Structure 1
Amino acid sequence: MPALIVKQHYSAAELASYALSSVPTTRAALRVKAERERWPFVEVAGQGGIRREYTPPPSVLKEISDKAMKSVVAAVEPRRIKVGPENQIPLIATESQALVADARKGVLLALQTLMNRSGYAMKKAARVMLEMAQSGEANPQLVAMLKAARDGRGRQSPDGLPSVRSLIRFVEYDRSSALTPRHRGRDMSVPDWAPTFLGYYQKPEKPTVEHAYRMFATEWAASQAGGMPSIWQVRRFLDKVGKVTLEMGRMGSHEIKSIKPFIRRTFDTLLPSDVYTADGHRFDAEVQHPLHGQPFRPEITSVLDVATRRAVGWSVGLAESAFAVLDALRDAVVNGGIPAILYVDNGSGYKNELMTDAGTGLMARLGTEMINSLPYNSQARGIIERSHKTIWVNAAKQLPGYIGHDMDRQAKLNTFKLSRKAIKAQKAGETVAMPLIGWPGFVEFCKLKVDEYNNSPHRSLAKITDPTTGRRRHMSPNEAWELAVAKGFEPHTVPDDELRPLFRPQVLRTVHRGEIEVFGNRYASKYLEEFHTDQMRIGYDIHDPEKVWVYDPDGRFVCTAELNGNSRSYIAPSVTDRARDKRLDAKIKRLDVKHDTALRERHGAPALENMESVHIPGFINMTRDELARSRQAPLVDVTEVNFTDVEVVAAQPIVPDAPEWSVPNTPQERWDEWQRMELEGELQDRSEKQKRWRQTYQATPEFRMYQRKCA
C-alpha cells in the first residue's frame, strides 16, 4: 500500500489503493460511488489526458487522516532503532535541497499555466517552455528557476537548463510528494573495529583519541581481526557518533546529566511560603573561630522561598548539624512564615528524628511536609545551589581569607602564612593584627550580604519599570514578596509566645518516680508524681541545661522540671557548717601554740635561767656556782689520761641501705623472683610494691605459661 497523504483532492486510483473501510477498493466501483453521491471533483491534466480528482466526504477524509497518523506512529514505535541507511530517521532537508524543491514547484506551476492557456499536452508544453528559455523569450525569473530545478547528478547542458524528460520527471516527483532531491549523506554504518576501540576510549579516565588508539592498535594487530584503521578513520567515525552516546563511560551517571536534556520547572502558580528550599554551604574563606580565634571555615545554611527567590532565613554554624538547620528554619519562619513544603537534599541535617519524627519532629509540629530530592540530583535543587555562588562565593571573594578553587595559589599561600604567623605571635605574647575577620564582624557581614541579595534584581523574576531610572529591569526578591502581599497574600506567622517552645527540640522520655533523664542529666518536678512510667515529650534548650519543659503525648504543657530538682544535701547545711567551724577553730588554736613557740625561739630565752642546780641522771649533778667554776677551769691534758681505764667498745660496721626493689626486666627473671618470694613465704618483710606485684603477676598470661611448663 502506498504512503497515505493527507490532501484535499484524490484520484480514484489513490482512494482505491488506500484500502479504506468506507469506500470501494476498485477504481470502477469508486467512480460509481462518487457519481452516485455527487462528490465534488476537479479535472487535472495527467500523462494520459484529463482525469478527475474527487473531494471525499468528511468521514472519508477523517479515516484517511487517522490511518496516516497510525502509520507514522507505527514507524517510530520501537525504542531501539538501528542506525543504518535502510532505517535512518528522516532528517529535515538542507537549505540547498529546499531551494531546489521550491524551484521545481515554480517550474511545475509555470508548466501548468502554459498547458491551461495553450491547450498543449504536457510534453509539448515542456518543449515549448525550454525553447522559449533558450531563445531568451521566457521570463528571466522562469529561466533562473529552470536552472535551479535541474538535477545536478545528470549530464551538464551548455545552457544549464534541464531536459524535457527532466520536466516530465518533476511531475512524477510531485505526484509522489518527492520534489526534494535526495542528498547523499554520510555513511552511518558501524565498522567492525568500532566496538573494540570504544572499549578503550569510553573510560572514566577520559583518554585522548591518540592514547586510546595506541592501546586499541596493539590488541587489534594481535588478534589479526582484519585491516587496521588509521587514526583519521577513527576520528571520522567519532564525528558521526552522538555527543551523549560518545561520552557514555567517560562520564558517570551524575556528570552526564550536565549534557542531557532537562526539565525546566516553572513557579508561576506558587505563592510565597508555599515551598522553601534549604541547603548548607561551607564558606570559601577562613574567619576567626568564636571560641579560640583560630582560622576555620564556617558552615552557612540558607533557606530560600521558591516563588520569590527571597532568602527568608540563614544561619552560621561551626559545622553542619541539625541545630544549624533548626536555627535557619527558625529565622525563616520569623521572616517569612511557616512553609507548606520544605524541599531539601538527603543530608543528615534534614533526615533525623529532630526533623522527621512523627511525634516530636519539627516538621510535624509546624505542619510542614518535607520532600527530599533524589540522590545525586543536585540539578533539581538548582535554585538553592545557584544562590550559594550568588551570595556566599561572591561574598567570600571580598574577604582577605578567601581560599576558593579559583584563587591564585601563590596569593592563597601568602594569606595562609600571614594568618599562621599571627597565631604564633599571639601565643608568644606579641601584639600582632590577625589578617582574618573576627566572628562578630563576620556575622554582621553575612547579614549585609543577604540584604544585598534580597534587594538586587533577579533574572528569574518578572520585569518591571524602575521608578528611579524609568528603565525596564527584573524585580528583586523583596519586591516580588511585597507585590504578593499587596495582592492579598498573608504569611502563616507564629506569635512570639509560641515561637520559642515551637523551635525547642523534643525527645520522648519515660517518667520514673517524678524524675526524667535527658542526655545524662536528671530533672525532677513534684507535678510529675501522677505520671509515673508514662512516656512524655520533653522540650529542651541547647543553651540552657538548667531546666526542661514537659508535655503530654497530645502536646499539652504539663510543667517545668528543674535540673536535680529533687536533690537534697546528705546532712543539713547548718549542721555541716557548724561542724566545719568547730574543726577550723581547733586548727587555729593549734596554729596559735606553734606560733607562740616560734616567737620564743626567735627571742632566745636561756633554758637554765631560773634553775638553782643542774641534775642530769647518770651524767651531772652540780649547783650553779660549781657549774660557773667548772667553766673557768683549764682544759684537761690529754697526755695525763690513762687509756687503760677506758672501756673500748667495738665499732659496728656501717651497713649501706638496701637498694629499692624494682620489677625484673625479663620474663625469666620475673618468674624466678616470684618463686623466691613463694619459698620465703611471709617470713620476709616486703614493701607494698613487692606485695602488690606478687598479687598482680599471678594473673598474667606469662605466669600461667611458666606454671604450665614447670607442671
Structure 2
Amino acid sequence: MTFIADGSRQGTLPARVMVVAGLANARKGSSRIGVSKSCLQAWLTLLSDYQARPGAVGVIGTRSAQTQTPGRRGLILRYVLATLQQAERPQRQKGGIPLDWYETYSDQPAMLMALPSYDAVIRLVDKLLLRERMRGRVSGSAAKAFEVYQQRDWSQMPVNVCWISDGKSLNLKVAHPIHGRPFTPELTLVIDGRTRYIVGWSVSLVENAIAVADAYRHGMKHHGKPLFVYSDNGGGETNKMLDAYITGNPQARGIIERLNGVMPDRLAKRFLTYNGIGADPNAVRIRGQQMLSLSNALRDGRELTAQNKKTLKILPTWRQLIDAV
C-alpha cells in the first residue's frame, strides 16, 4: 500500500493504475493527485465487507465517495453488516448495537470511537431491498413473498396453451349428497391464461386430486388439451397423481385468485346459508348453531325438531348447487 500510494503521487505507476488511483481518491482539484495509504486501507475494508455480503453492500455502496470519505464509509458499512447479521435470525429481533462489536474491537480504540450512530445505520439499512432486510428472518413461502414480482405478457401466449387452475371452499353450507348433513363444498375452476375464459370446473366434497382431475376432464372434453397448466401447491395439485411437490412453495396464481375472490362469493350469496364476508356476524353465528344441531340430529338418527325442519328447508341440495354453478 505504501508503494502504491507513493507511486501514485510521484506518477511512477503504470497508466492504468494511475487512473484507478484517481478514482479511488474520488476528489476534485488539480492538487489532489494520487491516493493515500489510509484511503487504500479503507477501500480494502470496503472490499472485504462486500465479499462478506455482496447484495447488501452493493446497494449501500452506490453513493458517491465525494460526500463521505471511504474510511468513514467503510466503518459504517462494517457496522451495518454486523447489525444485519444480528438481525438475520428467525427470532426477528430488532437491530441495534451488535452485541459482539465491543468484544471484537476491544483492543482497537479507534474502532470503538468511530462507532456510528443508530440513526446513521438505519438510514443505510432502509435503502436496502426489502428481501435483503428480511433475509434470514423469514423462510419458505414467507420469504418467497419478498422476491421480485414477475408478470407475463399474455398477449404473446396463444389461446389454449396455458391453463390456470385453483380450488376454493365455498362460503356456504349445502346438504351432503350421501348423508344429507350440512357441509362446505369445494369448487375447482380452470381458466385459459390468454382469454381468461373458464374452460372447466368441478364441484367436489373436498379438495383432492380427483376434483382437480375432474375439472381438467371437463375442460378437455369441450376445449381440447392445453400445453401446460399453472396451479398452486394446494392439496388437489401436489400429489403423485398429478404433480411433484416442493414443500414451502405455495405460489399462488394471481389471475385465478382474483377470479376466486369474485365469482364463488357471488355464487354463494344466492343461498341463505352464506357465511362469508359481508354477512351479518350474529346471523352467521346463529345459523351455524342451527346447522350444527341439524347435523347432529341427522347423524344420530333423532327425530327433527321444528327448528331443524326449518333449517333443512333452507339448506341447498347438491343438485341446486351444481345448477347454480
Indicate whether the TM-score tops 0.5.
Answer: yes
Aligned 8 A contact 1:284 1:404 in 2: yes
**Counterpart check, 1:440 vs 2:319:** yes
Shift of 1:429: 2.4
Identity fraction in percent = 27
In 1, Cα distance between equivalents of 2:162 and 2:236: 18
What does the per-residue CA deviation read over 1:377-423, in whole Å, with 9 as the maximum and x for residues that have no partner? Answer: 55573333332223224544665545558988766544322322344
- 2:21 corresponds to: none
Aligned 8 A contact 1:344 1:373 in 2: no
**Counterpart check, 1:383 vs 2:269:** no
Aligned pairs for 1:84-233 within 5 A = 88-89=61-62, 184=67, 189=74, 190=76, 192-207=78-93, 209=94, 213=96, 225=106, 226=112, 232=119
What does the per-residue CA deviation read over 1:594-643, in whole Å, with 9 as the maximum and x for residues that have no partner? Answer: xxxxxxxxxxxxxxxxxxxxxxxxxxxxxxxxxxxxxxxxxxxxxxxxxx
SS in 1 for 2:306: coil
Aligned 8 A contact 1:346 1:372 in 2: no
Aligned partner (choices 151, 163, 168) of residue 276 of structure 1:
163
In 1, Cα distance between equivalents of 2:138 and 2:205: 35
Aligned partner (choices 170, 183, 188) of residue 296 of structure 1:
183
Distance 1:379 1:218, change over 3 A: closer
Q: Which amino acid aligns with 1:275?
A: C
What does the per-residue CA deviation read over 1:87-123, in whole Å, with 9 as the maximum and x for residues that have no partner? Answer: 94478xxxxxxxxxxxxxxxxxxxxxxxxxxxxxxxx
- 1:418 corresponds to: 290
In 2, Cα distance between equivalents of 1:248 and 1:431: 59
In 1, Cα distance between equivalents of 2:233 and 2:144: 19
In 2, Cα distance between equivalents of 1:237 and 1:88: 10
SS in 1 for 2:126: helix
Shift of 1:318: 0.8
SS in 1 for 2:189: strand
Give ranges in structure 2 of 5+ residues lacking alignment. 1-14, 17-50, 107-111
Which is strand-richer, 1 or 2?
1
**Counterpart check, 1:314 vs 2:201:** yes
Shift of 1:309: 0.9
Aligned 8 A contact 2:233 2:249 in 1: no
SS in 1 for 2:262: helix
Aligned partner (choices 187, 210, 213) of residue 323 of structure 1:
210
What does the per-residue CA deviation read over 1:520-552, in whole Å, with 9 as the maximum and x for residues that have no partner? Answer: xxxxxxxxxxxxxxxxxxxxxxxxxxxxxxxxx
Q: Which amino acid aligns with 2:321?
A: F
**Counterpart check, 1:246 vs 2:121:** no
In 1, Cα distance between equivalents of 2:197 and 2:323: 19
- 1:659 corresponds to: none
In 2, Cα distance between equivalents of 1:261 and 1:324: 32
In 2, Cα distance between equivalents of 1:413 and 1:299: 21
Aligned 8 A contact 1:345 1:372 in 2: no
In 1, Cα distance between equivalents of 2:248 and 2:172: 26
SS in 1 for 2:166: strand
Aligned 8 A contact 1:84 1:188 in 2: no
SS in 2 for 1:264: coil
Aligned partner (choices 277, 281, 304) of residue 429 of structure 1:
304
Corresponding pairs, count: 260
TM-score norm. by structure 1 comes to 0.31
Distance 1:390 1:199, change over 3 A: same
- 2:30 corresponds to: none
In 1, Cα distance between equivalents of 2:241 and 2:125: 53
In 1, Cα distance between equivalents of 2:62 and 2:102: 35
Distance 1:398 1:234, change over 3 A: farther
Aligned 8 A contact 2:172 2:184 in 1: yes
What does the per-residue CA deviation read over 1:22-74, in whole Å, with 9 as the maximum and x for residues that have no partner? Answer: xxxxxxxxxxxxxxxxxxxxxxxxxxxxxxxxxxxxxxxxxxxxxxxxxxxxx
In 1, Cα distance between equivalents of 2:258 and 2:244: 18
Distance 1:394 1:193, change over 3 A: farther
In 1, Cα distance between equivalents of 2:229 and 2:278: 32
Q: Which amino acid aligns with 1:441?
A: Q
- 1:287 corresponds to: 174
Aligned pairs for 1:580-619 within 5 A = none
**Counterpart check, 1:341 vs 2:228:** yes
What does the per-residue CA deviation read over 1:473-509, in whole Å, with 9 as the maximum and x for residues that have no partner? Answer: xxxxxxxxxxxxxxxxxxxxxxxxxxxxxxxxxxxxx
In 1, Cα distance between equivalents of 2:58 and 2:244: 43
Distance 1:397 1:248, change over 3 A: farther
In 1, Cα distance between equivalents of 2:280 and 2:91: 27
Distance 1:285 1:222, change over 3 A: farther
In 1, Cα distance between equivalents of 2:248 and 2:155: 27
SS in 1 for 2:179: coil
TM-score norm. by structure 2 comes to 0.60
In 2, Cα distance between equivalents of 1:407 and 1:246: 40
Shift of 1:264: 1.6
Q: Which amino acid aligns with 1:201?
A: A
Aligned 8 A contact 1:401 1:415 in 2: yes
Aligned pairs for 1:552-563 within 5 A = none
SS in 2 for 1:268: helix
In 2, Cα distance between equivalents of 1:298 and 1:184: 63
Aligned pairs for 1:361-380 within 5 A = 379=251
- 1:57 corresponds to: none
In 2, Cα distance between equivalents of 1:384 and 1:276: 10
Shift of 1:314: 0.4
Aligned 8 A contact 1:345 1:373 in 2: no
Distance 1:334 1:288, change over 3 A: same
Q: Which amino acid aligns with 1:442?
A: L
Aligned 8 A contact 2:172 2:276 in 1: yes
- 2:34 corresponds to: none
In 2, Cα distance between equivalents of 1:205 and 1:398: 46
Q: Which amino acid aligns with 1:198?
A: L
Aligned 8 A contact 2:239 2:245 in 1: no
Aligned 8 A contact 1:275 1:307 in 2: yes
- 1:663 corresponds to: none
Aligned 8 A contact 1:298 1:318 in 2: yes
Aligned partner (choices 353, 375, 392) of residue 264 of structure 2:
392
Give ranges in structure 1 of 5+ residues lacking alignment. 1-16, 19-77, 92-181, 356-370, 448-711
Aligned 8 A contact 2:167 2:186 in 1: yes
* Worse overlay, 266-275 or 183-192: 183-192
Q: Which amino acid aligns with 2:317?
A: G
